[in-house]
Amino acid sequence: MQLVENGATEFKRQYTDDIKKSIVAFANTAGGVIYIGIADDGSIVGIADQDDTILRVTNMVRDAIRPDVTLFVTPSFETMEGKSVVKVLVEKGTASPYYLSGKGLRPEGVYVRQGASSVPASETAIRNMIKATDGDKYETARSLNQELTFNAAGKEFAKREVPFGSEQMRTLKLINADGIYTNLALLLSDQCLHTIRLAVYEGGEKEVFRDRREFEGSLLMQLGEAYEFLNRYNRVHAEVKGLTRIDTRDYPEEALREALLNALVHREYSFSGSTLISVFDDRIEFVSIGGLAPRITLDDIMLGISLSRNENLANIFYRLGLIEAYGTGIPKMMRSYAGYTMQPIIETSDNAFKITLPNQNSDIVLSTAKTSEMTEREKNAIALLDTKDFIVRKDVEDALSISQGTATRMIREMLGKGLLKVIGHGKNTRYYKGQ
């Protein structure tokens, strides 16, 4: 019977290095067989030295393919039409995507079967294989980029006197059991794809820029640079009482630190996009991608309950002394505003988490703090709650005949004063009477 090449069978007249591409493709797809000693047309040509050919296949599989695929590759002897042939049986592996060690987890290193050919896999196909094998957890999945450097992270670990060798990288989950960099390693590497975009605006709206920066590289470097930049805009307000001068920062330093750490540690890194920080005259807004973790509510967060989306990243920040313990950041931030009239506001949607820190020294906040009574608009908004259990932003717009933007600012100020409290997020956001 005439043999033919197909999705599960491939012929090689003799051993060549290209055989490794076929082995990778079969291991990534549905398995298959490679016959060495058969021409493309299916004619048996045989090989001179079976032992040498099997040795070369075995060495190549061990040295040139990652992760280790040797358990799924079985070379053996066969005789066809009186001629010696080597049969290489390749089973579908359990740790796909397999790739050429010299090329990495890129299309030029990952192959799949397409008909009777072995072709480079698309980046989408590679990501899907990683997800199918490693699961949905971003930080433990294998990084597509395996050519990573850690200059910035190494300096940060050294500064804090925390060891950062290959053994520690395995313990910290930057390297998996197969010696492959994870996405957590990518986040700490100099090649990190995610950035922080920071903009400073004139006044209280996103209209006129004063300054803007984008921080890139290792998350640890971004953290330090972004905090230093924010501190430039954390001015000191001096007030003299009697013979004593009292200096008050626009924002408690602890609140700035915790808001920034929260935005980096708890964001959803499986989505592209930058962490956004907006500095206005009267507030700073931190917006990170990813809503609350499943089964966690905003009330839980305020109580200090934490279900970390990036548990291993949080552990590294803990080891470096950047965070004290899980769930302490938000309560600590709120405590830093104790005694102030305006309080931080936390808002969530299905895909984002936002923290707003009020500037205690801005004219807007100071004038609000000096107002002992509610404004007429605020009284009218509260009156709506005399006839219903809760209100939404649209209720305030319609009752007061104001724009969406004005209603949003007004609600934000009422939340800061404690006149309202918020429950829910996104389309389910509801406002109730405060204390």
Task: Please write down the long-range contacts of 371-374, taking CB distance under 8 Å and 24 or more positions apart.
Answer: 374/419
Q: What pLDDT shows up at residue 420?
A: 86
Produce one character per residue of 278-293: b if its CB has 16 or more CB atoms within 10 Å, e if not: bbbbbbbbbbbbbbbe
Place of tokens 């990573």: 148
Q: What pLDDT shows up at residue 432?
A: 87
Task: Please write down the long-range contacts of 389-397, taking CB distance under 8 Å and 24 or more positions apart.
Answer: 389/432, 390/423, 390/430, 390/431, 390/432, 391/430, 391/431, 392/429, 392/430, 392/431, 393/429, 393/431
Contact (Cβ atoms closer than 8 angstroms) between residue 191 and residue 183: no
Helix, strand or coil for residue 49?
coil
**Is residue 116 situated within a structural domain?**
yes
Question: CA-to-CA distance for 275 and 285, rounded, in angstroms?
Answer: 11
**Is residue 82 situated within a structural domain?**
yes
**Is residue 351 situated within a structural domain?**
no
What is the CB neighbour count within 10 angstroms for residue 304?
Answer: 15
Number of structural domains found in the chain: 2
Query: E-assigned strands of 188-259?
Result: 196-201, 209-215, 236-241, 244-249
Picking from 352, 362, 349, the residue whose alpha carbon sits closest to that of residue 416 is 362
Question: CA-to-CA distance for 192 and 149, rounded, in angstroms?
Answer: 10
User: pLDDT 10s per residue in the chain (435 long)?
Assistant: 567 889 899 999 999 999 999 999 999 999 999 999 999 889 999 998 989 999 999 999 999 999 999 999 999 999 999 999 999 999 999 889 999 988 888 899 999 999 989 999 999 999 889 888 887 789 999 998 899 999 999 999 999 999 999 999 999 999 998 888 999 999 999 999 999 999 999 988 888 899 999 999 999 999 999 999 999 999 887 666 666 666 688 999 999 999 999 999 989 998 888 999 999 999 999 999 987 776 677 777 766 666 678 999 999 999 999 987 666 788 888 888 887 778 888 888 878 889 999 998 875 554 554 444 678 888 888 888 888 889 998 999 999 988 887 888 888 778 877 788 888 766 778 888 876
**Is residue 76 situated within a structural domain?**
yes
| CA 142 and chain centroid, separation | 13
Which residues form the domain of 58?
9-133
Question: CA-to-CA distance for 19 and 265, rounded, in angstroms?
Answer: 44
Place of tokens 């984002």: 352
Which residues are within 8 A (CB) of 369 and not within 5 positions of it... i.e. 6 or more apart?
341, 342
| CA 157 and chain centroid, separation | 21
Q: What pLDDT shows up at residue 371?
A: 46
Question: CA-to-CA distance for 314 and 418, rounded, in angstroms?
Answer: 32
Question: Which of 105, 133, 161 is the last residue in one of the domains?
Answer: 133
**Is residue 355 situated within a structural domain?**
no
Which residues are within 8 A (CB) of 123 and not within 5 positions of it... i.e. 6 or more apart?
106, 107, 144
CATH number of the domain where residue 389 is located: 1.10.10.10
Question: CA-to-CA distance for 137 and 81, rounded, in angstroms?
Answer: 52
Question: Which of 117, 133, 149 is the last residue in one of the domains?
Answer: 133
Which residues are within 8 A (CB) of 52 and not within 5 positions of it... i.e. 6 or more apart?
none
**Is residue 150 situated within a structural domain?**
no
Q: What pLDDT shows up at residue 104?
A: 85
Q: What pLDDT shows up at residue 372?
A: 43
Contact (Cβ atoms closer than 8 angstroms) between residue 188 and residue 155: no
**Is residue 158 situated within a structural domain?**
no
Q: What is the DSSP string of 258-275?
A: HHHHHHHHSS-TTS---E
Picking from 100, 97, 90, 118, the residue whose alpha carbon sits closest to that of residue 31 is 90
Q: What pLDDT shows up at residue 337?
A: 87
Question: Which of 85, 100, 133 is the last residue in one of the domains?
Answer: 133
Bridge-partner residues for 431, per DSSP?
391, 422
Produce one character per residue of 40-54: b if its CB has 16 or more CB atoms within 10 Å, e if not: eeeebebbeebeebb
**Is residue 205 situated within a structural domain?**
no
Q: What is the DSSP string of 298-314?
A: HHHHHHT----SSHHHH
CATH number of the domain where residue 77 is located: 3.30.950.30
